Amino acid sequence: MPAMRRRFHWLKRPKVRQTMNKYNLFNLSRLGRIGRGPSATFFQQKWAAKSHARAYHGEHVREHWWERAFDRHMPAVVPMDAHALAASDGSREAAGRGAGRDMHERVEAGVDWDRGAKGIGTPFMNMVFHPMERRLDQAIFRALFASSARQARQFVVHGFVTVNGKKMRQPGYLLNPGDMFQVEPDRVLYALGARKDQANDPIHDSDRIDNTLKPSNNQTEIVSDEGYDSSFSSMSETELAAFDAEELEPEESAAEDVKKTLKDLQKRVKNTLASETKGLTAKDKQRYRALKKQLQQTMSKASSASPESVAELEQTLESLDAHVAALKAGDDPKKVAAAASEGAPDRAELERLERESRILEELKKKEAENPYDPSKPYLTPWRPRDWMAPFVFIPRYLEVNQRICAAVYLRHPVARPGMAEVPSPFPHETHQLAFNWYLRRR
Amino acid sequence: MPPRIGTAAAALPGAAPSRAANPSMPKGGGARAFSRSARLATRQRSAMWAWINGAGRQFRRPAAGTTNYLGGGSNWGGQEEGEEGADAGGRQRYNKFPFPRNRHFQSLPVLSEELRDGIWDMVVNRGMSVREVSARMLVGVERVGAVARMKEVERRWEKEGKRLAHPYANAILSMLPQTPYKPVGGAHPHEPINDLPVHQATGTQLFHPTSESRPFTRADAGRAFAPSLLPADQRIPHPELIARERVRLAGGSAREARAAEQEAASEADKLAEEKEKKERETREAQTRTVRGRRWDFKFREVNADEVAGNERSPKGVGWRYGFPHEDRKKGQVKIATKVE
């Protein structure tokens, strides 16, 4: 493997690389014409094109390896329509000296349709680097198990990757259709998670995606860094919508508010239990204690406590207080208890308690799935790394199961009308020139 | 090499961005302003930080439930038209071009978790064949097999109590377009399921004189290109769908069409099975297995002349007179070509 370039993400003469780096994103965003354009000689154009293309496609692979792997045949497919195949055996299209004698009239009359798909060409040239996509390290990067192709290679070399259940330490292993490869989930979480030192990363207001720019994404806002993990991973849209109300407040205040409210509630429960020991029935005391326990539990994982759950707890406390006040006023505990138990309010309270326990269960599940664990080399609770979203796509020749960090290489990448499956930032012309460069000795 | 005075002098005070204007610059950049070895921000670098803190900031965090790719115009502020919002069918429209300069590469939807569960349920619990599930759910044959295979591993992990990467899965799926699960009615098409691979023999232009008095079909065209090239009807993954369509075109009922489809499917499956069985039997007949303590030793009779058809071929095996072993030479690739 060639050593890492000294100027890997260079701003002066930018080359797009296979990484999820923000410098790379900037270089990608201003990727324009490759080389000097039409004023350059053919050789110069080819040189610039292959230089840029190779800087992206398998930059860590020796040129000799690539020259041997290069294949001038571009794999392609044509989607077939079962109905059209059943309707004719092809003789109609072949009649009239191969032009289809009455095809033109039939298409115009609307009896038949234009099967040639003449409007859409197949971009064969975009498939120049298809042999590269067969490499194991490339496939790992494409399946989003590593943040760069070099990191994917390192995972293989360090023994974190299995192919069909067997450890594979060769990054240059060429996957066969049907091969299942798997990366240790901890490595994947490390590669694509936020860094540990980003726990208290300040987020500016301009970090938020501007709603005026993206009208359909008004539920993408993230309240705080702490709220971010839980909200990102498992909050429903309605829950997120509830957060929108607090959008204008500063980030940190939401989480702090939650904590403060919880503390207040705890104090109130404590005071009631201390001051009104005599006025309370045994059942009421039990209820207060249960509430106190719940509050403590919620406090211990304030990072994942949602404002709704806190509001629910607050409501419970208020209803309990009201109940006790009614008891005091009526002076007959049994009567008040009976009045409370026979009417709807008690049922409502039960329902609320049930809802609360459900919310708590959900919180517990979230916590279990994405716990705080300082022993991990990445930020916990886990959240995706910054500047990652523009690089997130999965090509069709892979099928990925993210939960077990495994993927199957279904088939070799192919071109089809209007589409090529090899991911590449470069346009058709650049690929054509690079193709011509590698064609010269063959 | 001593520090160059030229580079420090070249950077004008106005060109270096101030820390007040650029909060993301490394700390201490301003404090070392008089140091000769200080790294001064170049114009390129300040432009980058301006973009990162300005128009590019929208790409820092994912846009929940949709893609957040560089759009053609939106990289520098302003949304590209017609790329967001919902279409007439109610499915979410999204920016599908991760590379603004390459319009031939699209980020296509992936299977949603519900759809994966549905496919696994059909294959494992309901015992449907992979081919059937593929035709019903409009998902490629290989993909159906892969989904079922990986779901099995996932379930095994769950049973073993291994921690699954749920937060990672949720995050990635929320950044990607997804094909939703539709258990009743027609499924949402995920991909074209009847792809015909372009055969290399058909890549060249061919002048083939035929008689105009007799029909020239697809099968004839295949034979004209290469003697062994089968017509498209037999090379696509779902030939049974053609049988179904034939019955429909002849005016048959839905039930008849379904019966024809099933018959064709079972026939194709039987043929494939027979072929596989034959191959396996030939392989077994040629191999002699000796059971070892840890490994089984498998022996096969090989004739160097027969392997490559010619005793001088480099593909031949074993020691041959005049042919040195090359496997200790530099540059011989010894990476496995398959893992079973």
Query: What residues does each domain of chain A span?
Result: 7-79+120-133+425-441, 136-197+375-411
Q: pLDDT band for position B37 (50/70/90)?
A: low
Tell me, what's the pLDDT at A332? 53
- Inter-chain touch B102–A393, beta carbons under 8 Å: no
What is the distance between the alpha carbons of residues A314 and A291, in angstroms, rounded to a whole number?
A: 10
The answer to whether residue B105 neighbours chain A at the CB level (below 8 Å) is yes
More confident residue, A347 or B199: B199
Best residue in B49, B59, B245 to probe A by mutation, most A CBs within 10 Å?
A: B59
Contacting residues of B for A128, CB less than 8 Å apart: none
- Closest CB to A405: pick one of B47, B165, B248: B165
- Tell me how far the alpha carbon of residue A123 is from its chain's centroid: 29
Tell me, what's the pLDDT at B34? 63
> Shortest CA distance to B146 belongs to which of A181, A415, A139?
A181
User: How buried is A207 (Cβ within 10 angstroms: 0-12 exposed, 13-18 middle, 19+ buried)?
Assistant: middle
The answer to whether residue A173 neighbours chain B at the CB level (below 8 Å) is yes
Q: pLDDT band for position B86 (50/70/90)?
A: very low
| β-sheet with A406-409: strand ranges across | A166-167, A161-163, A179-183, A406-409, A398-401
Q: pLDDT band for position A306 (50/70/90)?
A: low
Contacting residues of B for A420, CB less than 8 Å apart: 104-105
Q: pLDDT band for position B87 (50/70/90)?
A: very low
More confident residue, A116 or B324: B324
Q: pLDDT band for position B312 (50/70/90)?
A: confident
- Count the alpha carbons within 13 Å of A320 in the hemisphere toward its beta carbon: 28
- Inter-chain touch B150–A369, beta carbons under 8 Å: no
Mean pLDDT over each residue of chain A, to the nearest integer: 80
* Cα Rg of chain A, angstroms: 31
Q: Which pLDDT tens digit goes with each residue over B161-175?
A: 999 999 999 999 999
More confident residue, A203 or B305: B305
Predicted confidence (pLDDT) at residue A210 exceeds the cutoff of 50:
no
CA distances from A357 to A61, A295, A309, B223, B267 (A): 55, 12, 10, 71, 56
Tell me, what's the pLDDT at A236? 37
Predicted confidence (pLDDT) at residue B253 exceeds the cutoff of 90:
yes
- Inter-chain touch B65–A387, beta carbons under 8 Å: no
Mean pLDDT value of segment B28-53: 74
Q: Which pLDDT tens digit goes with each residue over A401-411?
A: 999 999 999 99
Chain B residues 131-160 with CB within 8 Å of chain A: 140, 142-143, 145-147, 149-151, 153-154, 157
Predicted confidence (pLDDT) at residue B258 exceeds the cutoff of 60:
yes
Predicted confidence (pLDDT) at residue A280 exceeds the cutoff of 70:
yes
- Closest CB to A166: pick one of B64, B84, B339: B339
Comparing A332-346, B144-158, B283-297, the range with the smallest average pLDDT is A332-346
Mean pLDDT over each residue of chain B, to the nearest integer: 83
Comparing A217-231, A259-273, B205-219, B233-247, the range with the smallest average pLDDT is A217-231
Q: Which pLDDT tens digit goes with each residue over B199-245?
A: 999 988 889 998 888 899 999 999 999 999 999 999 999 999 999 99
Comparing A319-328, A375-384, A405-414, the range with the smallest average pLDDT is A319-328
> Given its phi and psi angles, is residue A97 left (phi above 0), alpha (psi -120 to 50 degrees) or beta?
left
**What is the SS3 string spanning chain B?**
CCCCHHHHHHCCCCCCCCCCCCCCCCCCCCCCCCCCCCCCCCHHHHHHHHHHHCHHHHHCCCCCCCCCCCCCCHHHCCCCCCCCEECCCCCEECCCCCCCCCCCCCCCCEECHHHHHHHHHHHHHCCCCHHHHHHHHCCCHHHHHHHHHHHHHHHHHHHHCCCCCHHHHHHHHHCCCEECCCCCCCCCCCCCCCEEECCHHHHCCCCCCCCCCCCCCHHHHHHHHCCCCCCHHHHCCCCHHHHHHHHHHCCCCHHHHHHHHHHHHHHHHHHHHHHHHHHHHHHHHHEEEEECCCCEEEEECCCHHHHHCCCCCCCCCCCECCECCCCCCCCCCCCCCCCC
Tell me, what's the pLDDT at A111? 64
Contacting residues of A for B76, CB less than 8 Å apart: 29
Predicted confidence (pLDDT) at residue A8 exceeds the cutoff of 50:
yes
Q: Provide the token pair at A227.
A: 């709220």
Instruction: Confirm if A346 and A336 have CB atoms less than 8 A apart.
Output: no
Mean pLDDT value of segment A113-122: 66
Predicted confidence (pLDDT) at residue B72 exceeds the cutoff of 60:
no
**What is the SS3 string spanning chain A?**
CCCCCCCCCCCCCCCCCCECCHHHHHHHHCCCCCCCHHHCCHHHHHHHHHHHHHHHCCCCCCHHHHHHHCCCCCCEEEECCHHHHHHCCCHHHHCCCCCCCCHHHHHHHCCCCCCCCCCCCCCHHHHCCHHHHHEHHHHHHHCCCCCEHHHHHHHHHCCCEEECCEECCCCCCECCCCEEEEECHHHHHHHHECCHHHCCCCCCHHHCCCCCCCHHHCCCCCCCHHHHHHHHHHCCHHHHHHHHCCCCCCHHHHHHHHHHHHHHHHHHHHHHHHHCCCCCCHHHHHHHHHHHHHHHHHHHCHHHCCHHHHHHHHHHHHHHHHHHHHHHHHCCHHHHHHHHHHCHHHHHHHHHHHHHHHHHHHHHHHHHHCCCCCCCCCCCCCCECCCCHHHCCCCCCEEEECCCCEEEECCCCCEECCEECCCCCCCHHHHHHHHHHHHCCC
- Inter-chain touch A411–B142, beta carbons under 8 Å: yes
Chain B residues 44-103 with CB within 8 Å of chain A: 44-45, 47-48, 51-54, 56-70, 74-79, 84-86, 92, 98-103
Chain A residues 255-274 with CB within 8 Å of chain B: none
Mean pLDDT value of segment A298-303: 62
Nearest-CA distance A60 → chain B (Å): 18
Tell me, what's the pLDDT at B17? 40
User: How buried is A314 (Cβ within 10 angstroms: 0-12 exposed, 13-18 middle, 19+ buried)?
Assistant: middle
- Inter-chain touch B53–A240, beta carbons under 8 Å: no
- Inter-chain touch B170–A234, beta carbons under 8 Å: yes
Contacting residues of B for A394, CB less than 8 Å apart: 107, 110, 176
Q: Provide the token pair at A76.
A: 């392609």
Contacting residues of A for B84, CB less than 8 Å apart: 214-217
- Inter-chain touch A89–B219, beta carbons under 8 Å: yes
Nearest-CA distance B134 → chain A (Å): 14
Tell me, what's the pLDDT at A221? 31
Tell me, what's the pLDDT at A260? 72
- Closest CB to A89: pick one of B53, B191, B217: B217
The answer to whether residue A237 neighbours chain B at the CB level (below 8 Å) is yes
> What percent of chain A is predicted at pLDDT more than 90?
51
Contacting residues of B for A212, CB less than 8 Å apart: none
Length of chain B: 340
Predicted confidence (pLDDT) at residue B3 exceeds the cutoff of 50:
no
> What percent of chain B is predicted at pLDDT more than 70?
81
Predicted confidence (pLDDT) at residue A382 exceeds the cutoff of 70:
yes
Mean pLDDT value of segment A169-189: 97
Chain B residue closest to A371 (CA)?
A: B167
More confident residue, A301 or A253: A301
- pTM for the structure as a whole: 0.75
Tell me, what's the pLDDT at B162? 94
Q: pLDDT band for position A237 (50/70/90)?
A: very low
Chain A residues 105-124 with CB within 8 Å of chain B: 123
Predicted confidence (pLDDT) at residue A377 exceeds the cutoff of 80:
yes
Q: pLDDT band for position A232 (50/70/90)?
A: very low
Helix axes B240-249, B254-286, angle to 10 degrees: 160
Tell me, what's the pLDDT at A257? 65
Chain B residue closest to A381 (CA)?
A: B167
Instruction: Confirm if B73 and B140 have CB atoms less than 8 A apart.
Output: no
Q: pLDDT band for position B324 (50/70/90)?
A: confident
Tell me, what's the pLDDT at B23? 44
Mean pLDDT value of segment A286-291: 79
The answer to whether residue B5 neighbours chain A at the CB level (below 8 Å) is no
CATH class of A136-197+375-411: alpha beta
Tell me, what's the pLDDT at A82? 93
More confident residue, A20 or A283: A20
- Closest CB to B175: pick one of A204, A392, A396: A392
Q: Which pLDDT tens digit goes with each residue over B300-310?
A: 887 777 777 77
Q: Which pLDDT tens digit goes with each residue over A127-147?
A: 999 999 999 999 999 999 999
Tell me, what's the pLDDT at A10? 92
Q: pLDDT band for position B16 (50/70/90)?
A: very low
- Inter-chain touch A404–B244, beta carbons under 8 Å: no
Q: pLDDT band for position B285 (50/70/90)?
A: very high
Long-range pairs, A244-250, Cβ under 8 A, ≥24: A244/A218, A244/A219, A246/A307, A247/A208, A247/A221, A247/A223
Using CA of residue A77, residue A83, residue A87, residue A92, what is the dihedral sign?
Answer: negative
ipTM confidence: 0.82
Chain B residues 251-310 with CB within 8 Å of chain A: none
